[in-house]
Structures are given as C-alpha cells and as structure tokens.
C-alpha cells in the first residue's frame, strides 16, 4: 500500500465553543490546528482539510479544503467521504483522518493504523485507548467511498455502525491524553496546561 493521504476533519459546528472554527483558536505558539498539522503532515503523503463554508478563512494554511458533499452537517462520516472523494482524484488508496480539535494525538498514528488494518479484509482501522474507540482517527480505503455515500444518503450518522459492518480493526494506544479534544473553553485552558 502506498502512503495514505491525510484529512483533518474540521467540518463540525463547534456549538459548545460558541460556534466558529475551534481549530483556529490559539494554543501555545500557534493554533490548535497548527499542532494537528504538525503531527499529521510528516506521517502522510499529502494533506487536506475537511471544512464547510468559505474556504478562504484557511488560505494561510496552504492546504486543499474539501467540503462535505452530504447536506446538513451529517457528522464526521461526511467529512471522511469528502476526504475519500478527494483522495480518489489523487489516485490514493487510503486516507487517514484526524480531528481538528485534538492537538496531541500520537506521532505514530499512521503506522499503527496501517499495521492494525493488515488483519482486515476492508482495510479500515480506528484508534482505541482504554477509554474506548476514537472514530475520527482512522484509516479508510477509497474503494469503500460509494458504500459510505449510500449509507449517509440512507441516514446513517454513527461512525462505528458503518465501520463495524465492515469489520474494522483497532489500533491500541496506551495514552488517553493523546486523544484529548478541545470542546469547551475549559478544555482549551487544559490543553494549554498539557502543552
């Protein structure tokens, strides 16, 4: 398998943060999103950002911005589909997704997901820690994008319902803090402490 492409999922509405783009909030010497990019970019063959609305607000990042093709904020799976459709135009076989509000995920995320996926027929793998699965951190084959599109059009929104149907593997990570995500102003303060 050639190196997967990376897709950062930033298509949510950030309602618990008062709306807007959580990823653009300041963290340390950068933003939450700059930390996510710094961790994911070295692990993948190319990088895109899944975000809805005016892509110009991300122009300073010099990343391809891909919007959801399913209307009405259909959740993270819609972002995965947007990434898969983009990756297919790049002739990539897989993407790895990471959430735009999770700045401390493992620097070996991609190799661990690739290793876990070797045991599956479909090539899907999700990150897992002791406190459960982290379904926005996954390896996804472009070959399944039409299956995913149909599932979304049929109303499916829960990631694990679709991945379980396809026998997804899990890559186990020991550190729960690695997948700490910023959902509230209090979380942003905690992220600064972790940093």
- Predicted local confidence at residue 70, as pLDDT: 86
What's the confidence (pLDDT) of residue 137? 98
Mean pLDDT over 132-142 rounds to 96
Return the number of other C-beta atoms located less than 10 Å from residue 34's C-beta.
18
- Cite the beta strand spans of 100-148 per DSSP E: 125-129, 132-141
Domain membership of residue 195 (yes or no) is no
In a domain, 55, yes or no: yes
Does a structural domain hold residue 90? Answer: yes
d(CA 82, CA 69): 6
Q: Structural domain of residue 46, as residue ranges?
A: 5-187
DSSP 3-state of 86 = helix
Of the CA atoms within 13 Å of residue 147, those in its CB half-sphere come to 10
**pLDDT tier at 21 (50, 70, 90 boundaries)?**
confident
Q: Rounded distance, CA 66 to CA 52, Å? A: 8
CATH number for position 65: 3.90.550.10
Q: Is there a domain that residue 159 lies in?
A: yes
Residue 11 has pLDDT above 80, yes or no: no
Q: Helices in the chain by DSSP H: which ranges?
A: 32-40, 76-89, 109-117, 145-153, 159-165, 185-194
> What is the pLDDT, as a whole number, of residue 18?
52
Give the integer Cα–Cα distance in Å for 138 and 62. Answer: 23
**Residue 154 class from Cβ within 10 Å (0-12 exposed, 13-18 middle, 19+ buried)?**
exposed
User: Quick one: pLDDT at residue 19?
Assistant: 60
pLDDT at 190: 95
Q: Could you tell me if residue 192 is inside a domain?
A: no
Tens-place pLDDT, residues 62-94: 999 999 988 776 789 999 999 999 999 999 999
Picking from 165, 176, 140, 178, the residue whose alpha carbon sits closest to that of residue 9 is 140
Instruction: Establish if 193 belongs to a structural domain.
Output: no
Q: Is residue 63 part of a domain?
A: yes
Share of the chain above pLDDT 70, in %: 94
Q: With respect to residue 194, please indicate whether it lies within any of the assigned structural domains.
A: no
Residues 94-132: tens digit of each pLDDT: 999 999 999 999 999 999 999 999 988 889 999 999 999
What's the confidence (pLDDT) of residue 120? 86
pLDDT at 13: 56
Number of domains in the chain: 1
Q: Is 172 helix (H, G, I), strand (E, B) or coil?
A: strand
Q: Could you tell me whether strands 125-129 and 132-141 are parallel, antiparallel, or unpaired per DSSP bridges?
A: antiparallel
For 143-163, what is each residue's pLDDT tens digit?
999 999 999 999 998 999 999
CB 8 within 8 A of CB 37: yes
């Amino acid at each position: 398998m050639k190196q997967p492409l990376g897709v950062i999922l930033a298509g949510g509405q950030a309602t618990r943060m008062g709306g807007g783009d959580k990823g653009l909030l300041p963290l340390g010497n950068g933003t939450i999103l700059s930390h996510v990019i710094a961790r994911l970019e070295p692990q993948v063959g190319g990088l895109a950002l899944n975000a809805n609305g005016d892509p110009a607000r991300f122009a300073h990042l010099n990343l391809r911005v891909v919007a959801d093709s399913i209307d009405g904020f259909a959740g993270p799976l819609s972002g995965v589909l947007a990434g898969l459709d983009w990756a297919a135009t790049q002739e990539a076989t897989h993407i790895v997704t990471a959430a735009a509000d999770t700045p401390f995920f493992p620097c070996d995320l991609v190799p661990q997901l690739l290793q876990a996926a070797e045991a599956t027929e479909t090539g899907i793998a999700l990150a897992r820690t002791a406190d459960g699965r982290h379904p926005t951190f996954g390896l996804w084959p472009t070959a399944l994008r039409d299956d995913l599109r149909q599932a979304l059009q049929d109303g499916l929104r829960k990631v694990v319902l679709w991945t379980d149907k396809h026998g997804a593997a899990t890559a186990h990570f020991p550190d729960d803090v690695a997948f700490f995500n910023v959902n509230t102003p209090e979380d942003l303060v905690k992220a600064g402490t972790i940093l």
